[in-house]
Each structure stands twice: as structure tokens, then as C-alpha cells.
Amino acid sequence: MNDPDPAAVLLVVGDASETVDTLYPLYRLQEAGLRPVVIAPERRTYQMVMHEVRPGWTITKEWEGYQIASDLAFSEVDPTEYLGIFFSGGRAPEYLRYDEDLVRITRHFFEEGKPIASVCHGVEIPAYAGCVQGRRMATVPKCRHDLEVAGGVFVDEPCVVDGNLVSGRTYHDHGHYIGPWIRLLLDAARAD
């Protein structure tokens, strides 16, 4: 007898998505028996980056990271078919947030109360989509304004859980917030 297809979870990427922000949750989803589905503006390979503030620097330094191929374009996604969504960090959310299909997808997960995770600049997508009003979230401090101007509440902690929404500040927090998000996903999968 074949095992049923594991629950699918969306990972949002684009050029300049942060490498660790993207790969860590992707592998953790696989370990949990879930199926990550990488989505982006179009089906192609994207260049990820690595970000870090180094001693002596007051801004983030960037290096090329690995590449990742998207499974689907935003326009091809029917969000009703997916258990949850992850908004990766890096510079990508700065331009991805304006994609109308991504806004549609994002609003679905917030409206339906499905498990959502966000790290670093990932907050820019749900903020632009009008989904963070009154929601408590962690993000990198330089994105605090993006969150607060959209009505969200900035919390400077490694893991913030606000109902179905789990968030962290940077890749340094992955060990704190990814586990609680995966538990929400597994609970939702069992409830189906």
C-alpha cells in the first residue's frame, strides 16, 4: 500500500532570498514528513544570498549563496491545496511583495488561519498584503518600520507565536521558531 502524499507547504523565494533562511526550513519540513513546494515569480532557478553584519560594518554584507529552482510560479498556485506558508528573508521580499498573485496567496493563509512562518525581511510580504494589523511578530530590527506602519507589533525575540503566525528575527533564530511552526503544521495535517 502506498503512503499518502505528505501535506504540501509553500516556501516563497526570489533572487536574493537568504540561503540559510530558505534551506533550513526546507530540510526541516522534509524531516517532518511534509513536502516543501518552492514558489517564485516564475518557474526558473533563483540565486540566493548569504547575509551577515560583520564586525566593523553597520549594514548587512551580502555574498552569493546556493541556487534554488522554483516548483511553481505564483500565478500557478491554488493556496487551498497547501497546508502552510513560509516567507524567507533576504532582499527578495522587497520586490516580491508587489506581486498580485503573491498578495492573493498570502491573504488566503491569514484569512484561513493556516500555519504561517516568517523571518527577517519576510515580514515585508504580509505587511504589504495588509495581513499584520494587530499581530505580534519578530523581524530584523531594520524591518520594524515595515511591520509597524502596517499595524503590526514588533517583538525583539527569537520566537514569537501569535496564533497561527510564527516568526523569528534572522537565521540565528531558526532553532527557536521553526520547531513551533512545524508543530502547528503537523497538528493541522492530523486535523485534515
Question: Given a cut of 60, is residue 60 above it in pLDDT?
Answer: yes
pLDDT tens string 95-145: 999 999 999 999 999 999 999 999 999 999 999 999 999 999 999 999 999
Domain boundaries, the chain: 8-191
**pLDDT class of 70 with cuts at 50, 70, 90:** very high
User: Which long-range CB contacts under 8 A does 133-138 form with residues at least 24 apart?
Assistant: 135/162, 135/165, 136/160, 136/162, 137/162, 137/165, 137/167, 138/167, 138/168, 138/169, 138/173, 138/177
Q: What percentage of the chain exceeds 70 in pLDDT?
A: 97
Residue 127's pLDDT is what? Answer: 98
Residue range 8-191, CATH number:
3.40.50.880
Question: Given a cut of 60, is residue 191 above it in pLDDT?
Answer: yes
Residues assigned a catalytic role: 121
Residue 53's pLDDT is what? Answer: 76
Angle between helices 19-31 and 174-191 in degrees, nearest 10: 40
Question: Which three cell numbers mark 189?
Answer: 495535517
Amino acid at position 13, single letter: V
Question: Given a cut of 60, is residue 4 above it in pLDDT?
Answer: no
Residue 90's pLDDT is what? Answer: 95
| DSSP class per residue in 145-183 | HHHHHTT-EE--SS-EEETTEEEESSGGGHHHHHHHHHH
